[in-house]
């Protein structure tokens, strides 16, 4: 029990007492929840918000109330005419004062520990993918849901979106506060536009983990497609991609990663935020020679009015983490190739594409619609194995939920992928045989420049 009479005179006033009660309660709550969180008993991202942001904030307010109350009470006493203003006398021979001093010292250390633990936990927590994806639920849902299934699933959002260093963290928190405000006032853009002009350059993000000069050589990729027939007939395109790499110092410097050869610098001008239209490209070669490639009919004003950018990893790998399939066909083909939609199920490709490609208002409607459509269709096909249908339904629902987000206006093809040229302009934004330099040379499009189809 808190007995006010045993407390020092200075804090025997209502404001300080409220402060003591608030700070003590919050400190106990913090310790209990912190232990539960560390032990993994509570995992909701909102608990993190409570433990590392809300409780410490109230705790600090409580702590501040104690001296504020003491100061106000002291001022009232000093203003009373019978009291001369004076400093209190500290006397360590007095056992009461010694005990009070030890208590204040101990409490200060405990408070500093709690505040620094909360600050450390808070920063770490705000760097986590859970914070980005789940606290900002609807807004970040597309990227959070898509992030899970790709090679960077273990790279937290902040690994690419914040970059190293305290400056980057502060900058991103300021931007985050602005964005939180936009979300709260319903003014967030839907879909969220590419943040590429505010992302830190690849040097400070991708290159923390990837070495740009690495020589990758050729990479074999198999593109699997399925037919709309009974047997879901498979066709495979095997492709040898000349990724290459290297640099002058290491020898080589060829292939697709020639762009990243630090001896070359490519600058370009894009006329919209998705960077799909590129009328102007400027190449500075290793000998310092500059070549400007321009699409016929481009005006000076268009070049001056566009966004200029130096090409880096993110101009080709713009969706390294949260990749969305461009079309229902692509997504369903991938699910069949991975064995999630059973190929043994007759007409699975055709039916799944139709089911996931339909328009639905929200997730519940989509899950019901996909299940109903597939079940209705196969109930009319005598001899169908119901377990195969159930697997197809679950996989089709999963495909839909990782690619379509009606609440954010994100659907098939909303976010183009620049790696390739079939579903979006990609490499052909520049390699279209139309970007011409003064000497007549073109940015080449010959089919064997980048890959060999076997
Ligand atoms: C491997 C690096 C990387 C990781 C990890 C990453 N992102 Fe991104 N993100 C990017 C790049 C690059 C872009 C720019 C895309 C473009 O210009 O088309 C981007 C764009 C975005 C956008 C703008 C909309 C869009 O999709 O273009 C949002 C929102 C976003 N990221 C959220 C997230 C969230 C949330 C996470 C974690 C769950 C995350 N990102 C993890 C690299 C990454
Ligand atoms: C924190 C480290 C880290 C960062 C930052 C990072 N990556 Fe990666 N990246 C990896 C790892 C690890 C792999 C290998 C994953 C695997 O194969 O399981 C990988 C794989 C890749 C691959 C091959 C993907 C595939 O299909 O196999 C590409 C391309 C790539 N990263 C590009 C990027 C780009 C572009 C960026 C910056 C926007 C980036 N990475 C940032 C760690 C990182
Ligand atoms: C001109 C476009 C372009 C640029 C710029 C580019 N890449 Fe690539 N990269 C590619 C292509 C195309 C592939 C092969 C695509 C595939 O796997 O389907 C590839 C493959 C990769 C791979 C996988 C290699 C393998 O053997 O699996 C990694 C890792 C990678 N790139 C990292 C990077 C990093 C890091 C940067 C920036 C320093 C970068 N790339 C810049 C086009 C580019
Ligand atoms: C911003 C414009 C731009 C984009 C986008 C672009 N390139 Fe290039 N690329 C160039 C320029 C400029 C050259 C030099 C002219 C040439 O060789 O045709 C070049 C050259 C190349 C070369 C020849 C390298 C050598 O050894 O001489 C390859 C291979 C290549 N690009 C692959 C790709 C691939 C693959 C993509 C898409 C993932 C891509 N490029 C996207 C501008 C671009
Ligand atoms: C500037 C480089 C470049 C040039 C030139 C180029 N391609 Fe490609 N192409 C690519 C890349 C990169 C990919 C793989 C993208 C990926 O990893 O998904 C690709 C993929 C493909 C695919 C596989 C499609 C799929 O996704 O199923 C086909 C087919 C193809 N290219 C045909 C061609 C033909 C035909 C030409 C000549 C007109 C051509 N390409 C010229 C870079 C190029």
Domain range enclosing 357: 328-408
User: Does the pLDDT of residue 221 top 90, yes or no?
Assistant: yes
In whole angstroms, give the CA distance from residue 336 to residue 83.
Answer: 87
Residue predicted with more confidence, 186 or 431:
431
| pLDDT at site 84 | 62
- Of all protein residues, the one whose alpha carbon is nearest to atom 27 of ligand 2 is 151
Asked whether residue 65 is assigned to any structural domain, the reply reads yes
Name which of 11, 3, 21, 5 is nearest 74 in CA terms: 11
- Read off the pLDDT band of 197 (50, 70, 90): confident
Are both 303 and 428 inside the same structural domain?
yes
Are both 374 and 425 inside the same structural domain?
no
Rounded distance from Cα 444 to ligand 3 centre (Å): 19
**Which domain-ending residue is among 391, 408, 425?**
408
Asked whether residue 332 is assigned to any structural domain, the reply reads yes
Taking residues 133-154, what's their average pLDDT?
A: 83
Q: Across all residues in the chain, what is the average pLDDT?
A: 87
Atom of ligand 2 nearest to the CA of 156: 1
| pLDDT at site 88 | 66
133 within ligand 1 shell (Cβ under 6 A) = yes
Helix/strand/coil (H/E/C) assignment for every residue in 131-164: HHHHHCHHHHHHHHHHHCCCCCCCCCHHHHHCCC
| pLDDT at site 1 | 44
Give the up-direction half-sphere exposure of residue 272: CA atoms within 13 A in the CB hemisphere.
6
> Cα–Cα distances in Å, from 369 out to 226, 328, 372, 391?
23, 15, 5, 16
- Of all protein residues, the one whose alpha carbon is nearest to atom 16 of ligand 4 is 443
Name which of 430, 414, 408, 301 is nearest 362 in CA terms: 408
Asked whether residue 182 is assigned to any structural domain, the reply reads yes
- Of all protein residues, the one whose alpha carbon is nearest to atom 3 of ligand 2 is 209
Contacts of 84 (CB under 8 A, 6+ apart): none
Name which of 353, 351, 323 is nearest 413 in CA terms: 323
Are both 122 and 135 inside the same structural domain?
no
- Read off the pLDDT band of 418 (50, 70, 90): very high
Are both 317 and 335 inside the same structural domain?
no
Name which of 93, 168, 184, 67 is nearest 136 in CA terms: 184
Identify which ligand lies nearest to the alpha carbon of 255.
Answer: 4
Are both 306 and 421 inside the same structural domain?
yes
Q: Into how many domains does the chain fold? A: 4
| pLDDT at site 261 | 64
Taking residues 269-297, what's their average pLDDT?
A: 90
User: Does the pLDDT of residue 45 top 80, yes or no?
Assistant: no
Rounded distance from Cα 159 to ligand 5 centre (Å): 30
209 within ligand 2 shell (Cβ under 6 A) = yes
Pair 242, 255: CB distance under 8 Å: yes
Token digits for 351? 């039916």
The pLDDT tens digits of the residues spanning 428-448 come to 999 999 999 999 999 999 999
Are both 74 and 176 inside the same structural domain?
no
| pLDDT at site 242 | 92
Rounded distance from Cα 256 to ligand 3 centre (Å): 8
**Which domain-ending residue is among 387, 408, 429?**
408
Residue predicted with more confidence, 235 or 110:
235
Are both 277 and 307 inside the same structural domain?
yes
Asked whether residue 205 is assigned to any structural domain, the reply reads no
The pLDDT tens digits of the residues spanning 239-251 come to 999 998 877 666 6
Asked whether residue 432 is assigned to any structural domain, the reply reads yes
| pLDDT at site 325 | 96
Are both 309 and 430 inside the same structural domain?
yes
N- to C-terminal Cα separation, the chain: 81
Helix/strand/coil (H/E/C) assignment for every residue in the chain: CCCHHHCCHHHCCHHHHHHHHHHHHHHHHHHHHHHHHHHCCCCCHHHHHHHHHHHHHHHHHHHHHHHHHHHHHHHHHHHCCCCCCCCCCCCCCCHHHHHHHHHHHHHHHHHHHHHHHHHHHHHHHHHCHHHHHHHCHHHHHHHHHHHCCCCCCCCCHHHHHCCCCHHHHHHHHHHHHHHHHHHHCCCCCCCCCCCCCCCCCHHHCHHHCCCCCCCCEEEEEEEEEECCCCCCCEEEEEEEEEEEEEECCCEEEECHHHHHCCCCEEEEEECCCCCCCCCEEEEECCCCCEEEEEECCCCHHHHHHCEEEECCHHHCCCCCCCCCCCCHHHHHHHHHHCCCCCCCCCCHHHHHHHHHHCCCCCHHHHHHHHHHHHHHHHHCCCCCCHHHHHHHHHHHHHHHHHHCEHHHCECCCCCCCCCCCCCCCHHHHCCCCCEECCCCCECCCCCCCCEEEC
Pair 432, 293: CB distance under 8 Å: no
**Which domain-ending residue is among 71, 97, 127?**
127
147 within ligand 1 shell (Cβ under 6 A) = yes
- Read off the pLDDT band of 181 (50, 70, 90): confident
Asked whether residue 275 is assigned to any structural domain, the reply reads yes
Are both 245 and 265 inside the same structural domain?
yes
- Read off the pLDDT band of 252 (50, 70, 90): low
Are both 247 and 383 inside the same structural domain?
no
pTM: 0.84
Token digits for 360? 């639905």
Are both 180 and 288 inside the same structural domain?
no
Asked whether residue 209 is assigned to any structural domain, the reply reads no
Give the up-direction half-sphere exposure of residue 226: CA atoms within 13 A in the CB hemisphere.
30
Token digits for 16? 């300080």
159 within ligand 1 shell (Cβ under 6 A) = yes
- Of all protein residues, the one whose alpha carbon is nearest to atom 3 of ligand 3 is 316
Are both 383 and 438 inside the same structural domain?
no
Name which of 326, 324, 336, 325 is nearest 228 in CA terms: 336
Token digits for 93? 């021979």
The fraction of the chain above a pLDDT of 70, given in percent, is 92
Q: How many residues are there in the chain? A: 454
The fraction of the chain above a pLDDT of 90, given in percent, is 48
Pair 16, 70: CB distance under 8 Å: yes
Contacts of 207 (CB under 8 A, 6+ apart): 313
In whole angstroms, give the CA distance from residue 54 to residue 26.
Answer: 10
Asked whether residue 164 is assigned to any structural domain, the reply reads yes
């Amino acid at each position: 029990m808190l007995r006010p009479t045993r407390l020092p005179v200075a804090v025997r006033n209502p404001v300080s007492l409220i402060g003591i009660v608030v700070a003590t309660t919050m400190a106990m709550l913090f310790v209990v929840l912190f232990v539960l969180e560390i032990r993994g008993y509570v995992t909701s991202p909102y608990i993190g918000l409570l433990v590392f942001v809300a409780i410490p904030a109230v705790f600090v307010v409580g702590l501040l109330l104690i001296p504020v109350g003491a100061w106000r009470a002291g001022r009232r006493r000093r203003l009373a005419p019978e009291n001369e203003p004076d400093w209190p006398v500290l006397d360590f021979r007095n056992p009461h004062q010694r005990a009070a001093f030890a208590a204040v010292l101990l409490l200060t250390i405990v408070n500093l520990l709690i505040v620094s633990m909360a600050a450390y936990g808070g920063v770490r927590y705000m760097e986590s993918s859970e914070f980005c994806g789940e606290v900002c639920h609807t807004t970040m849902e597309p990227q959070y849901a898509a992030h899970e299934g790709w090679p960077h699933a273990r790279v937290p959002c902040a690994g690419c979106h914040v970059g190293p260093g305290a400056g980057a963290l502060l900058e991103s928190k300021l931007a985050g506060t602005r964005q939180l405000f936009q979300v709260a006032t319903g003014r967030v853009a839907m879909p969220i536009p590419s943040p590429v002009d505010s992302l830190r350059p690849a040097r400070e993000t991708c290159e923390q983990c990837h070495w740009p000069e690495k020589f990758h050589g050729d990479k074999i990729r198999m593109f699997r497609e399925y037919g709309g027939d009974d047997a879901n007939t498979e066709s495979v395109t095997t492709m040898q991609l000349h990724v290459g790499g290297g640099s002058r110092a290491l020898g080589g410097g060829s292939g697709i990663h020639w762009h990243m050869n630090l001896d070359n610098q490519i600058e370009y001008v894009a006329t919209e935020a998705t960077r799909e239209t590129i009328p102007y490209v400027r190449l500075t070669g290793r000998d310092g020679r500059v070549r400007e490639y321009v699409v016929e009919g481009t005006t000076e004003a268009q070049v001056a009015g566009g966004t200029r950018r130096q090409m880096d990893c993110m101009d080709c790998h713009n969706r390294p983490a949260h990749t969305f399939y461009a079309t229902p066909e692509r997504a369903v083909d991938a699910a069949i190739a991975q064995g999630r939609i059973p190929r043994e199920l007759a007409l699975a490709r055709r039916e799944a594409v139709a089911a996931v490609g339909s328009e639905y208002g929200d997730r519940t409607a989509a899950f019901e619609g996909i299940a109903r459509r597939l079940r209705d269709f196969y109930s009319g096909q005598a001899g169908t194995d119901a377990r195969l249908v159930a697997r197809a339904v679950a996989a089709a629902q999963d495909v839909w939920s990782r690619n379509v987000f009606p609440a954010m206006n994100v659907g098939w093809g909303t976010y183009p992928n620049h790696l390739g040229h079939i579903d979006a302009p990609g490499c052909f934004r520049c390699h279209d045989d139309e970007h011409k330099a003064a000497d007549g040379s073109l940015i080449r499009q010959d089919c064997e420049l980048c890959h060999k189809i076997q």
